[in-house]
């Protein structure tokens, strides 16, 4: 029987065995679930990297990723196979919920700890920082503090996030008051760009982290954002990740997932609050 192949339309073909090897590597290294039927997607997205790197076949590219001790090739693989689309104030209801929780349930907390667990190019943690700065700035009484941990597996998007510089068009959904309070307008060669003020960036620490591996930190968080990433994992991997995220929550803390995602069918020990919002119950950890 002839082996099935998939073409990218530009001369490169992906063989069934090559797809299997790439799928296994993606699952083992970062939990990505590439089921049968994704061959065309893999062919199209990785084909660009093959042509850029001068590789003559997917097998040659696969062997290159395995041999690369820097990890850069693996980052290129994950960047190609996953979508880093994000925006400021994405899924706005979560930030409205965060603001209410800070003012009500966490009103006695002197320092809030927040984790953006798949921060991509930084729009999510910066939105969290602006939301909390605005909310706490209007809160009566003693001044309260917050710190945000922002992590992602991709070093490429983390470098973008650390710079904190974005095109003006990216901020069109932000309230005018936020743009004035938290952004610096570029001029000269930087015209058309905005950069976050130091008092915003100081609240965020960026780190590389692979969600399928043990978490290196020991701190607990009042809210964890892990949005629009569960869709890439199989059920077993989702189960493991959510269990470990739960262990990182303060009692009564919240886990927020993407509005297109659900933890239905995943044993997690969390209380369903509303769509895409789960809470750790106060009864303690298992």
> Given the structure tokens 């790439």, which residue do they identify?
22
**Catalytic-role residue among 8, 90, 144, 152:** 152
**In which band, very low, low, confident or very high, does the pLDDT at 286 lie, cut at 50, 70 and 90?**
very low
**Quick check: 285 pLDDT over 70?**
no
**In which band, very low, low, confident or very high, does the pLDDT at 282 lie, cut at 50, 70 and 90?**
low
**Quick check: 84 pLDDT over 70?**
no
- Mean pLDDT on 147-153: 96
Q: What is the pLDDT of residue 113?
A: 98
Q: What is the pLDDT of residue 7?
A: 66
User: Would you call 45 a catalytic residue per the annotation?
Assistant: yes
The region, left, alpha or beta by phi > 0 then psi within -120 to 50, assigned to residue 68 is: beta
Q: What percent of the chain lies above the pLDDT cut of 70?
A: 94
User: Would you call 72 a catalytic residue per the annotation?
Assistant: no
- Mean pLDDT on 16-34: 91
Q: What is the DSSP letter of 37?
A: T
pLDDT digits (tens, 9 = 90+) for 87-101: 999 999 999 999 999
Q: What is the pLDDT of residue 6?
A: 60
Q: What is the pLDDT of residue 106?
A: 96
Residue 286's CB: how many other CB atoms inside 10 A? Answer: 7
**Catalytic-role residue among 45, 156, 179, 244:** 45
Please give the C-alpha separations between residue 70 and each of 75, 122, 128, in angstroms, as whole numbers. 10, 24, 32
- Mean pLDDT on 192-207: 97
* Mean pLDDT, the chain, whole residue set: 90
Query: Got the DSSP string for 215-283?
Result: P-----EEEEE--S-GGGB-HHHHHHHHHHHHTTEEEEEEEE--TT---TT----EEEEETTEEEE-TT
**In which band, very low, low, confident or very high, does the pLDDT at 109 lie, cut at 50, 70 and 90?**
very high
Q: What is the pLDDT of residue 1?
A: 40
**Quick check: 284 pLDDT over 50?**
no
pLDDT digits (tens, 9 = 90+) for 227-244: 999 988 988 999 999 999
């Amino acid at each position: 029987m002839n082996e099935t192949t998939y073409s990218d339309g530009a001369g490169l073909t992906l063989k069934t065995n090559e797809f299997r090897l790439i799928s296994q590597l993606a699952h083992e290294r970062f939990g990505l679930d590439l089921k049968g039927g994704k061959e065309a997607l893999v062919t199209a997205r990785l084909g660009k990297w093959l042509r850029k790197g001068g590789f003559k076949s997917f097998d040659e590219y696969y062997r290159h990723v395995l041999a690369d001790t820097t990890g850069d090739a693996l980052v290129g693989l994950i960047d190609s196979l996953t979508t880093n689309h994000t925006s400021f104030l994405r899924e706005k209801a979560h930030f409205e919920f965060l603001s209410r929780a800070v003012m009500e349930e966490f009103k006695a907390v002197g320092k809030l700890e927040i984790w953006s667990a798949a921060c991509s190019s930084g729009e999510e943690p910066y939105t969290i920082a602006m939301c909390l700065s605005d909310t706490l700035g209007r809160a009566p009484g003693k001044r309260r503090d917050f710190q945000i941990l922002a992590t992602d597996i991709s070093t490429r998007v983390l470098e973008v996030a650390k710079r904190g510089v974005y095109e003006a068009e990216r901020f069109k959904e932000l309230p005018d008051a936020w743009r004035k309070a938290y952004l610096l307008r570029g001029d000269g060669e930087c015209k058309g760009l905005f950069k976050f003020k130091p008092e915003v960036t100081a609240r965020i620490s960026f780190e590389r982290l692979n969600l399928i591996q043990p978490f290196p930190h020991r701190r607990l968080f009042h809210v964890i954002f892990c949005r629009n990433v569960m869709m890439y994992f199989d059920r077993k991997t989702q189960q493991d990740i959510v269990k470990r995220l739960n262990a990182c929550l303060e009692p009564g803390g919240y886990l927020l997932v993407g509005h297109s995602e659900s933890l239905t069918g995943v044993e997690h020990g969390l209380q369903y609050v509303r769509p895409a919002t789960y809470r750790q119950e106060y009864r303690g950890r298992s």
